[in-house]
Amino acid sequence: MKHTPELSSKDIEIVQSDVIYHGHLKLLKYQLKYRLFAGGWSPVVIRELFHAHAAVGVLLFDPIRDEIVLIEEFRLGTLEQKSPWILELVAGIIDSNESIEEVAHRESKEEAGCEVIDLIPMCEYWTSPGISTGRFSLFCGRVDSSKAGGIFGLSHEHEDIRAHVFPKEFVYNALKTGEINNAATIIAVQWLQLHELEVKQKWK
């Protein structure tokens, strides 16, 4: 069974769009109306939208040592919590003419110093579709964690990243206690919990 939406992009009328700000991100302002489920059209409404780049995330997993490599990095959006340095998976923006698999390999090396041996796709999702065009592709990446760990990142991108090697059960527990508290990492760790057996069978 598959859900087929009744409405499509043809059922939206954009009255006006303006670029409010264009820096690291682009912020747009729309005046639009859209067709209603019960029939007819909505009034003209105003909505702001962040134009964000598509990104790729990789949960680095060593199926032999049962270890997961996570990174720790300062994140501006978490200023209100006790420490704005959070644990998360490796991730990066897709550059032009670059496949999502290429991004997964590149970012794993740049942010964690890890060579990815194999990749398994997890899922793709919109990060916050009510306010952003951001789209995330997630992978599980096989690595040898025996020599992982250390400080990484690209200086010209002002990255200061510490890679940690954790026992798998520590990461599962950190998810349970809320220490892991960002969406991409939560989704990826939960995926591994559900698929761990088949991942290990594939990567024997």
Q: Name the one residue in this structure whose structure tokens are 């912020």.
A: 27
Structure tokens at 22: 């264009």
Question: Which residues pair with residue 35 across a beta bridge?
Answer: 41
Pairing of strands 45-51, 135-142: unpaired
91, 74, 73, 66: which is closest to 166 by C-alpha?
Answer: 66
Q: For residues 79, 81, 84 and 86, what is the CA-based torsion angle, rounded to 10 degrees?
A: -140
Contact criterion met (CB below 8 Å) for 177 and 96: no
Give the active site residues. 157
Q: Which of 16, 48, 53, 13 is nearest to 33 (CA)?
A: 13
Shortest CA distance to 90 belongs to which of 15, 204, 182? 182
- Tokens 């990142």 found at: 153
Please give the angle made by the CA atoms of 17, 77 and 92, to the nearest 5 degrees: 80
Q: Taking a C-beta distance cutoff of 8 angstroms, is the pair 107, 56 a contact?
A: yes
